[in-house]
Structure 1
């Protein structure tokens, strides 16, 4: 795993400012998807580790922390979940959290992060297609309403990621890579990626009927890929117990955790 460098932003300082230790922090969003623009915000995602006292007392634990702010002229969008909630989301066929966990744009990592990455393939099922199908549908509706390029690229990215997951059994969120991995990817996508680099919220200069046909074709391809997928209907046997054991060891400090082993920020 490698660390990403976002111009003019010290992301390691952002990690150090968090109230509780982070198991990991990665960059998601347009930077992960391969089509950031000059004015893209930085989507920082991860998992934090609440102390046990916060979970067993009367106060509601702060399982999810979300903050948006300007840092050194760059808009920052930070969302982290307590590790237990993050693991539960992994078990709920949530492709989004898997993309965050497996992002190669690593800002902060630990031995617990590495162990969780090793467990991630065990939660993948053919039902993750529903996540990508639903996300693509939502983004397509946004494109039809606004005509902006960003939701159109998000639509294509989601469908191609879903197809790749069903065929290869691995999560790949980088659109330029997916164009080369999925033969049915429309040939005009690299041009749209290049256009997106100029502005975060610019209009899409496309033939709407053409892209509507492209999106419809990819939905059909995703349906077929799900039907033919070698992925199982449920996580691999023993996955729930393995994740439970991982969570207990990490929370109690009896095994790998945010403080175990060298910090690889």
Structure 2
């Protein structure tokens, strides 16, 4: 464990003390988890937590998110497990990504493994494809129009578009690693694959990627795929498995296990 990982774990323990919660899972999200961080990339720490049983037995709706201001490249944000399970029920892509992050800072009480076991049953190709398509369209519109573009933003359009391609081809949760998506979905497109790999090598080397002339081969691909998936998403299966009883039980079990109320 390196110094930053130790520091992150210390901060997670501080959050537990200050908020009176227990963190059951914490991981890296964003560009570091996806495999293309810059030298100044934030550490996007995402976590799931459980509060004492009395907090849930209230007539009031309470805030179910914990956030800390970004400081020293550290960005902490967490969801209460009840919120997380409600989003999991809707096949929430960010949560599904967190659960397969390659960098886990904290995992205890068995909650993450239990929810992972339910993931294949709850995955909805339609809702997840729409999520990634919306992300791609927004980033493309904001950052990649015109002759000069913010070159590093290509990754934030390519990754969701490749996730759409993975969903269409496999019907499963897309891998979190950008390299894996590129190899699986672009390796037969020689010119495009080469352009993406060259850009990826530049980013991984720590080179500053700012405004540059747009990469037409990538723009052409993105425009074509955005238009394609706007139609293809309509025809993806919308999996709706009744897991309410299982998720309720998982929630109750998490609270009881963490706080010793069994």
Provide the TM-score with structure 1 as the length reference.
0.81
Of 181, 185, 198, the match for 2:184: 181
Partner of 1:263: none
Once the two structures are superposed, residues 100-133 of structure 1 have per-residue CA deviations (whole angstroms, 9 ceiling, x without a partner) of 1221211111211111111122221121110000
Once the two structures are superposed, residues 205-238 of structure 1 have per-residue CA deviations (whole angstroms, 9 ceiling, x without a partner) of 4534433211023335646765776xx4123x34
Q: Which runs of 5+ in 2 are unaligned?
A: none
- Written as runs of structure 1 = structure 2, the 5 A alignment for 1:199-218 is 202-203=209-210, 205-218=212-225
Of 136, 146, 149, the match for 1:147: 149
Of 68, 73, 76, the match for 2:74: 76
CA distance in 2, matches of 1:152, 1:258: 45
Q: Counterpart of 2:94 in 1: which secondary structure?
A: helix
Name whichever of 42-51 and 4-13 sits farther off. Answer: 4-13
Partner of 1:10: 7
- Written as runs of structure 1 = structure 2, the 5 A alignment for 1:1-265 is 7=4, 10-19=7-16, 20-57=21-58, 60-70=61-71, 74-110=72-108, 111-127=110-126, 128-144=128-144, 147-168=149-170, 169-183=172-186, 186-187=192-193, 188-197=195-204, 202-203=209-210, 205-219=212-226, 222=229, 226=233, 232-235=237-240, 237-253=241-257, 257=258
Decide whether the 8 Å contact of 1:149 with 1:201 is kept in 2.
Answer: no
Change (3 A) 1:116 1:194: same
Decide whether the 8 Å contact of 1:31 with 1:42 is kept in 2.
Answer: yes
Aligned residues: 248
Name whichever of 123-132 and 36-45 sits farther off. Answer: 123-132
Q: Counterpart of 1:68 in 2: which secondary structure?
A: coil
CA distance in 1, matches of 2:87, 2:205: 34
Q: Which runs of 5+ in 1 are unaligned?
A: 261-265
RMSD between aligned residues: 2.8
Provide the TM-score with structure 2 as the length reference.
0.82
Decide whether the 8 Å contact of 2:100 with 2:176 is kept in 1.
Answer: no
